[in-house]
């Protein structure tokens, strides 16, 4: 006789896969997310307040006028008078930067010839001032590029020419309209 095991068949039909693990949420996770969001909001508010305060401070500080800044830089350049090339670089750079800031005329990045050619086609300076400025810049170029070693008196003349340019072209004091629109006869030539 053949014995059959009938109880095996129902057991095989009853086998099922193991259920995956159930994720148990951390009851304190919501607190971490809430504190993180709160920290971001506080940081954003503080950053916004700092930016607003800084913007107000920057707006309250009036910019230094170009002619005042140029005079300060020219006065500081006198400390270099014993070194001709650095002195001349400082003085001519100040004059060029001043002209750019005062008249919105691109000066520092151009050669002297390019600068003078473009300046001659404008009404920014009168003819005598343009000629004096040309002589000033050419004298500066001799020191900067041709290794010319001027004496201190020549360096002081160059400094005086730059100061005179700033004074003649600077904005006029209230009620002094002649300085705002200098006539060709008003300016004396700058020393070369």
**pLDDT tens-place values along the chain, 192 residues long:** 555 555 555 566 677 888 888 888 887 888 888 999 999 999 999 999 999 888 877 766 678 888 899 999 999 988 888 888 899 999 998 988 888 888 887 766 778 888 888 888 888 888 888 888 888 889 888 888 888 888 889 989 989 999 998 888 887 633 344 444 444 333 344 444
Establish if 183 belongs to a structural domain: no
pLDDT at residue 44 in the model:
97
Quick check: is 132 in a domain? yes
Asked if residue 91 is part of any domain, the answer here is yes
CA torsion sign for 40, 42, 43, 45 is: positive
Contacts of 57 (CB under 8 A, 6+ apart): none
Residue 123 lies in a domain: yes
Q: Is residue 41 part of a domain?
A: no
Residue 160 domain-assigned (yes or no): yes
Is 16 exposed, middle or buried, given 0-12, 13-18 or 19+ CB atoms closer than 10 A? exposed
Kindly report the number of other CB atoms within 10 A of residue 93's CB atom.
Answer: 16
Domain range enclosing 152: 66-170
For residue 151, being part of any structural domain is answered with yes
Structure tokens at 22: 């159930």
Domain count within the chain: 1
Task: Establish if 106 belongs to a structural domain.
Answer: yes
Q: What is the pTM (predicted TM-score) of this model?
A: 0.57
- Report the candidate in 154, 156, 153, 178 with the shortest Cα–Cα distance to residue 167: 178
User: Which pLDDT does position 23 carry in this prediction?
Assistant: 84
pLDDT value, residue 50: 92
pLDDT at position 188: 40
Interatomic CA distance for residues 142 and 127, integer angstroms: 23
């Amino acid at each position: 006789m053949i014995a059959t095991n009938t109880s095996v068949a129902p057991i095989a039909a009853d086998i099922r896969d193991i259920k995956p693990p159930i994720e148990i949420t951390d009851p304190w996770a919501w607190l971490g997310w809430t504190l993180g969001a709160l920290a971001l909001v506080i940081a954003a508010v503080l950053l916004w307040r700092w930016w607003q305060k800084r913007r107000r401070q920057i707006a309250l500080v009036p910019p230094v006028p170009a002619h005042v800044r140029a005079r300060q830089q020219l006065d500081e350049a006198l400390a270099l008078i014993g070194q001709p090339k650095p002195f001349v670089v400082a003085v001519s750079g100040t004059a060029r930067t001043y002209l750019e800031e005062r008249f919105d005329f691109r000066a520092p990045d151009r050669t002297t010839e390019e600068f003078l050619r473009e300046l001659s086609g404008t009404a920014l300076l009168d003819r005598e001032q343009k000629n004096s400025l040309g002589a000033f810049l050419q004298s500066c170029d001799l020191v900067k590029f041709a290794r010319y070693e001027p004496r201190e008196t020549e360096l002081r003349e160059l400094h005086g020419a730059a100061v005179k340019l700033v004074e003649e072209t600077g904005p006029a004091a209230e009620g002094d309209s002649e300085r705002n629109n200098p006539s060709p006869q008003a300016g004396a030539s700058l020393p070369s």
